[in-house]
């Protein structure tokens, strides 16, 4: 099947993701350390409840979040452009009958119109200013009243956000937030706790997220095994139908 079979927009192609593409094992450690209190999923349950519904996780990477959705969803599709990660995600969900993983990208989802109730994308840097095609695709595959939830790091929250901005001096959180606001998204901010099993794990994760200089600084500024990390959850609903 052509990956563009269902899509009306032209794919821009995947944006390289060095952390998970080059160091999938360390990214797995990172995913286990992230949001150990489940604050993001609690917030998602309020704004985009997936219980008994059909979910697509766009840019699902190695499929870390797919089993969590599958525990309450009717069906879950992971969509991922990078073939080795498609294989890793398939292997993770091999025993879960309600989950499938397809190769594709946000701008060309391999799904028919009005097929799902929730589109989720986590640490989805490919959803930012200029991601109009991805938003259009999400609206195309959502049923009326369905919800697109884009979850990404909040660079306004220290200490993690300070380290991000040290490495990305041109990144302006206000521009990103204005973009989503102008596109009709509501914003919810959450504060999470990352917790590592040991300092070597912390150091290895900082090493795949930041330049060497910033990773060293972040390691110095993190005395224990945990740190606070803020996230933005941008939410937009698909129109629920004609108002007569």
In the complex, the residues that contact ligand SAM under the rule CB under 6 A are 14-15, 17, 19-20, 31, 58-61, 64-65, 80-82, 85, 105-107, 122-123, 126
Q: Which is nearer to ligand SAM, 61 or 146 (CB)?
A: 61
| Residue whose beta carbon is closest to ligand SAM | 61
Q: How far is the CB of 22 from ligand SAM (least distance, A)?
A: 11
- At 56 the three-state DSSP class reads strand
The strand order across the sheet containing 226-237 reads 99-103, 75-80, 54-58, 116-122, 142-153, 226-237, 186-195
Min CB(240)–ligand SAM separation in Å: 26
Which residue lies nearer to ligand SAM by CB, 82 or 236?
82
Q: Which is nearer to ligand SAM, 36 or 239 (CB)?
A: 36
Of 60 and 202, which has the nearer Cβ to ligand SAM?
60
Shortest spacing between CB 78 and ligand SAM, in angstroms: 9
Non-local CB neighbours of 139 within 8 Å, separated by 6+ positions: 148, 238
CB distance 185 to 119 below 8 Å:
no
Smaller CB separation from ligand SAM, 28 or 49? 28
Closest CB 20 distance from ligand SAM, rounded Å:
5
Q: What angle do CA 36, 42, 47 make, to 5 degrees?
A: 145
DSSP codes, 61-124: TTTTTHHHHHTT-SEEEEEESSHHHHHHHHHHTTT-TTEEEEE-BTTB-SS-TT-EEEEEEES-
- The least distance separating ligand SAM from the CB of residue 57, rounded to whole angstroms, comes to 7
């Amino acid at each position: 099947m052509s990956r563009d079979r269902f899509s009306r927009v032209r794919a821009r192609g995947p944006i390289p993701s060095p952390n998970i593409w080059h160091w999938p094992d360390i990214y797995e450690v990172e995913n286990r350390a992230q949001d150990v209190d489940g604050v993001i999923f609690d917030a998602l349950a309020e704004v985009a409840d997936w219980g008994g519904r059909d979910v697509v996780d766009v840019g699902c990477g190695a499929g870390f979040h797919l089993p969590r959705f599958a525990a309450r969803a009717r069906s879950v599709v992971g969509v991922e452009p990078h073939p080795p990660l498609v294989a890793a995600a398939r292997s993770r969900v091999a025993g879960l009958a309600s989950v499938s993983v397809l190769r594709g990208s946000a701008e060309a989802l391999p799904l028919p119109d009005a097929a799902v109730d929730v589109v989720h994308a986590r640490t989805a840097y490919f959803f930012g200013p200029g991601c109009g095609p991805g938003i259009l695709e999400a609206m195309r595959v959502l049923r009326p009243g369905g919800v697109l939830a884009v979850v990404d790091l909040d660079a306004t929250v220290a200490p993690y956000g300070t380290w991000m901005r040290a490495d990305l001096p041109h990144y302006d959180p206000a521009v990103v937030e204005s973009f989503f606001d102008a596109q009709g998204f509501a914003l919810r901010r959450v504060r999470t706790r990352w917790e590592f099993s040991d300092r070597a794990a912390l150091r290895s994760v900082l090493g795949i997220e930041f330049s060497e200089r910033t990773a060293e600084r972040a390691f110095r500024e993190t005395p224990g095994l945990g740190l606070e990390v803020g996230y933005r959850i941008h939410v937009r609903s698909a129109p629920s139908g004609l108002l007569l």
